[in-house]
Amino acid sequence: MNVAESITIGIIEGFTEFLPISSTGHMIVASGFLGLKQGSLLKAYEVIIQFAAILAVIGVYPEKFSPKKIGLWIKLFVAFLPIAIIGYLFKSQIKALFDVAVVAWMFIVGGIVFLIVEHFYKERAHSVHDVESVTMKQAFAIGVAQVFALIPGTSRAGSTIVGALLIGLDRKTAAEFSFLLAVPVMATVSGYDLLKHYHEFAQADLLPFTVGFVVAFATAYATIKLLLAFLQRFTFIPFGIYRILFGAALLFLSTKGYV
């Protein structure tokens, strides 16, 4: 992997990780066009840029990581538990689902779900306007919704946001809870992958890794800020439409052998 490729992948990771459009599908397409093999070196690089995305959340919400916010993090831990348990128990079955066609169809299904949820969205029915007001029961329900993200192409952000909208969080709060919930989820996944691929770092050229880390952090930080500003004026409908179009394009590209 050269520096130009690391910048490209870093931008894609940073931009798609916190949007409800699935980073997995975009990484598949990008890797295919760049000719990057899905090997251990690329996996090690993905670990690095995922850590960068985690740090971006901390950079945007430093006050949420204060010891005074222990109540919020207990709720986030409760929301984290379903995906941790199901992911561990069914890891082999989940791995078997990783297929371009599955990813593409889940893009399309997820897009339709967003359009339906937004169609029935009523502002007055969404009374939770702050992440710290989320109850333990609501946190667990969002965690259950997040389990759907184990199906490749569903999007972790997408499933948590939809789950949050369905139980009364407004759009901005749903997105913020999803951002914060990414920290324990991604830290666990990245930490596990780091243990599996730590030897790759000794053999890799550190320059692309370093550049990719910085690019992914900056892109993720900007994306979080931009999404929050976007949701002050707009809905999730554009993301639903994009998911359907991208899923259809991915199906087409897969039939032509491009991905």
Rg (CA), the chain: 18
23 within 8 A of 220, measured Cβ to Cβ:
no
pTM assigned to the model: 0.92
CA 198 to chain centre: 23
Q: Residue 36 belongs to what domain range?
A: 3-255
- How far is it, in rounded angstroms, from Cα 149 to Cα 155? 5
- How far is it, in rounded angstroms, from Cα 125 to Cα 255? 43
Amino acid letter, 157:
A
> Which H or E run contains 43?
helix 40-60
CB atoms within 10 A of CB 194: 16
pLDDT in tens, the chain (259 residues): 788 988 999 999 999 999 999 888 888 888 878 887 766 777 778 888 888 999 999 999 999 999 999 999 999 999 999 999 999 999 889 988 888 899 999 999 999 999 999 999 988 778 899 999 999 999 999 999 999 999 999 999 999 999 999 999 999 999 999 999 999 998 998 888 777 767 766 666 778 889 999 999 999 999 999 999 999 999 999 999 999 999 999 999 888 777 7
CB atoms within 10 A of CB 120: 9
Please give the tally of structural domains in the chain: 1
| DSSP-assigned beta bridge partners for residue 201 | none
Residue appearing with tokens 């840029």: 49
Task: Give the residue among 60, 55, 62 at the shortest CA–CA distance from 214.
Answer: 55
Model pLDDT for residues 104-153, shown as the tens digit of each residue:
999 999 999 999 999 999 887 788 999 999 999 999 999 999 999 999 99
> Which H or E run contains 107?
helix 100-119
Structure tokens at 248: 């259809």
16 within 8 A of 22, measured Cβ to Cβ:
yes
82 within 8 A of 127, measured Cβ to Cβ:
no
CA 49 to chain centre: 12
**What local confidence, expressed as pLDDT, does residue 60 receive?**
96
- How far is it, in rounded angstroms, from Cα 143 to Cα 84? 10
- How far is it, in rounded angstroms, from Cα 10 to Cα 6? 6
- How far is it, in rounded angstroms, from Cα 158 to Cα 22? 7
Q: b/e per residue, 122-140, with b = 16+ CB within 10 A?
A: eeeebebeebeebeeebbe
244 within 8 A of 108, measured Cβ to Cβ:
yes
